[in-house]
Structure 1
Amino acid sequence: MKLLGLIGGTSWHSTIEYYRLINELAGERIGHDQNPPLLIYSQNIQLMREQDKEKINKTYLETSQKLENAGAEGILICANTPHMVYDYVQPRIGIPILHIAEAIGRKAQELGLKTLGLLGNKPTMMGSFIPSYLQKHFGISTLIPDHQYIDLSHFFVSKELTLGKFTEEAKTFYLEQMRLLAQKGAEGMIMGCTELPLLIQQEESPFPLISTTQLHAQMAVDFIFGLGTGNFGGFEPLSS
């Protein structure tokens, strides 16, 4: 088994969900009386709340280098939003970061989906790190809610979901956003916050839901066991 480094802490609820899923999925391969070796570095969520991109990039690079130096053969960031650091960090380390959008794109291709709605917090929806990756590597287009709904979505994610609070108000809001995105052409919905699949289950939505957490965890397990295509966005090891 390959040693995988996990960067967590955004939020710790998300980290627990990733850890649980990776161990459960790995257990299906090696038996539930065993578990894969993992390295976990948990960040302080305050780092992301400060919204200092330079500081975020620097911190994630330092953390990635620590995990690489500790023997990690790949890195998994246990949340959606911190993937904003990918373009900065990946060229500066010698092991692959398993990009969450790679997992999204593979599932969308499998389902034959070419246009996806993206739900999450403001940096995830307004940023390019998921849409640009999907467009470049899979030819998939991404839609986000209308501008007047962005701040409310951010509120639900940052003030409720990442704190482990799941309300009917939030569920109603996101189900309505899915309906509106479908009207604009979305064929499926990216649950772009780790806690969103905990809020809304597939049976509660008429649209295909792409649970980034589940898919990302499966991608992690495939990596650990050396399965899958091995394509992580064109990663190439640093030259010595």
Structure 2
Amino acid sequence: MRKLGLIGGMSWVSTRAYYEDINQIVQRRVGPTASAPLLIESIDFSRLYRVTGGDQWDHAAEVLIKSARRLESAGAGALVIAANSMHAVYDRVQAEVSIPVIHIADCVARKMTEREVRRAGLLGTRNVMMEDFYRERLVVEDIELLPPNMDVVETLDTIIYDELMHGKVRRDSERELRTMITNLEKAGAEAVVMACTELDLLIDTGANVLPIFDSGHIHAAAAADWIIGDDTPTESVIDA
């Protein structure tokens, strides 16, 4: 198996899920005593929390580039940024290392194309829902994304940053998410892209009116495929 570098800590909740998912897939496919060869650098998320504006994104890029270089120097053959929003600086990170960085939105787009989903709603932080760096990776694959509703954007951003990233799960927030997904269906979505790695704390992927494409689980499955050296993508631990 090949050694993967994982840039985590954004937040530690999602990093834990990546570690579990990757190892569950490796154990299932390689053998009951196997575990994934991983290098994990857990970044202090307080340095990157709720990044906005050019200077803050420049700082975020610098932090992730340094982490990527350290992981490459330590022997990682590929990298994963274990957060959706930090893919805003993906291009800058990829340009500074000589090993591939597996893009989370590319993995999601591939899975949606396999399932022939062509119109979807996107749920995530404000940056992910409003900016082009994530959406364009899906649109270029002919996946139409519904326009963001600003009330949903603000409510969901608050739930993610003030609750889920602290490991808090509230019943009211769970109901809010269920309503958001129902409204996306009414607006014509065929599926929902869950573009925040903490949202699985609230969303039951198998108990909603629409198929849920869980970006974190799909990304982790692609990472496990790379580790194992299999060019045929596996099903994620909790598949859409």
Tell whether the structures are fold-level matches, with TM greater than 0.5.
yes
Q: Distance in 1 between matches of 2:135 and 2:64?
A: 21
Which one-letter code corresponds to 2:7 in the other structure? I
% identity of equivalent residues: 34
CA shift for structure 1 position 144: 4.7
Query: Structure 2: which amino acid aligns with 1:107?
Result: K
Q: In the alignment, which of 189, 205, 208 is matched to residue 205 of structure 1?
A: 208
- Choose from 161, 166, 180 the match for 2:164: 161
Using the TM superposition, give the Cα deviation of residue 145 of structure 1 relative to its aligned residue in structure 2, in angstroms: 3.7
Deviation for aligned residue 1:182: 2.2
For the 8 Å contact 1:144–1:181, the answer to whether it is kept is no
Deviations 1:77-120 (A, max 9, x none): 11211111112111221111111111111111121101121111
The separation in 2 between residues aligned to 1:9 and 1:124, in whole angstroms, is 18
Compare 163-172 and 12-21 and name the one that shifted more.
Answer: 163-172
Residue 237 of structure 2: aligned partner: none
What is the match of residue 194 of structure 1?
197
Query: CA 1:165–1:32 in 2, change beyond 3 Å: closer, same or farther?
Result: same
For residue 9 of structure 1, report the CA deviation from its aligned partner: 0.3
Residue pair 1:83, 1:129 contacting (<8 A) in 2 also: yes
CA–CA separation in structure 2 for the residues paired with 1:186 and 1:91: 35
Counterpart of 2:42, as a letter, is: S
Q: 1:90 aligns with which of 87, 91, 94?
A: 94
Number of aligned residues = 229
* Alignment-mate amino acid for residue 142 of structure 1: L
Q: Which amino acid aligns with 1:156?
A: I
Letter in 2 for 1:28: R
Q: Using the alignment, how far apart are the partners of 1:144 and 1:193 within structure 2?
A: 17
SS of 1:166's partner is: coil
| C-alpha separation in 2, matches of 1:34 and 1:134 | 34
If the length of structure 1 is used for normalisation, what is the TM-score? 0.91
Amino acid at match of 1:76: V
User: 2 CA distance for matches of 1:117 and 1:161?
Assistant: 20
Match of 2:82 among 73, 78, 81: 78
For 2:225 and 2:50, the matched residues in 1 are separated by 34
The 8 Å contact of residues 177 and 202 in structure 2, kept in 1 or not, is answered as no
Aligned amino acid, residue 8 of structure 2: G
Matched, 1:141 2:144: yes
> Which sections of structure 1, spanning at least 5 residues, go unmatched?
231-240
Match of 1:26 in 2: 26
What letter corresponds to residue 222 of structure 1 in structure 2? D
Alignment of 1:56-71 (within 5 A): 56-71=60-75
- State the SS of the aligned residue for 1:185: coil
Which stretches in structure 2 are left out of the alignment for 5+ residues?
Answer: 234-240
One-letter amino acid of the structure 2 residue matched with residue 30 of structure 1: V
Q: Tell me, what secondary structure is at the counterpart of 1:171?
A: helix
